[in-house]
Structure 1
Amino acid sequence: MSKTFKIEVDCANCANLVEDAAKKVNGVKDLSISFMTQKMKVAFEDDADQETVMAEVLKVARKVEPDFEIH
């Protein structure tokens, strides 16, 4: 299952860094960020708890870009 989230990220390089880090989170099958549209698409592993995965994605993203937001 995949979902698209509205995000807030300040620069294209930051978006790339966040994408690389967030792809490594357990439960994420695939993840892509579009800086231009300010959207993040996340494909979850079949047995993953989406809320737990997204909390970890946000935590990892904020280590790279402290101002990163998921709306």
Structure 2
Amino acid sequence: MKKTYKIEVDCANCANLMENAARKTSGVQSATVNFMTQKMIVEFAEGQESASVMDAVQKACKKVEPDCEIFL
């Protein structure tokens, strides 16, 4: 299952850090962050609940970029 989330991030490098953090999160099959559109597209692994996985993604992103926001 794929979902798109609105994000708020200040620079392209920060968006790249968020994308890498999201990709490494358990339950995420793939993740793409687009700085220009301020969106994150997350594809969840089979059988994963999106809400709990996105909580983990948000925590991982905050570790690498404390000022970022993901609107769930």
Question: What is the TM-score of this pair, normalised by structure 2?
Answer: 0.95
Name the residue aligned to 1:5: 5
Q: Which runs of 4+ in 1 moved over 3 A?
A: none
Name structure 1 gaps, 5 residues minimum: none
Tell me the amino acid that sits aligned with residue 2 of structure 1: K
Separation of aligned partners in 2, 1:39 and 1:18: 11
Name the residue aligned to 1:35: 35
DSSP 3-state at the match of 1:15: helix
DSSP 3-state at the match of 1:56: helix
Instruction: State the Cα distance separating 1:21 from its structure 2 match.
Output: 1.4
Tell me the amino acid that sits aligned with residue 38 of structure 2: Q
DSSP 3-state at the match of 1:61: helix
Q: CA RMSD in A?
A: 0.6
Name structure 2 gaps, 5 residues minimum: none
Separation of aligned partners in 1, 2:22 and 2:70: 13
Instruction: State the Cα distance separating 1:49 from its structure 2 match.
Output: 1.2
Q: Note the alpha carbon deviations across 1:23-60, whole angstroms, 9 max, x for none.
A: 01011000000000000000001111111100000000
Paired-residue identity, %: 56
DSSP 3-state at the match of 1:32: strand
Tell me the amino acid that sits aligned with residue 64 of structure 2: V
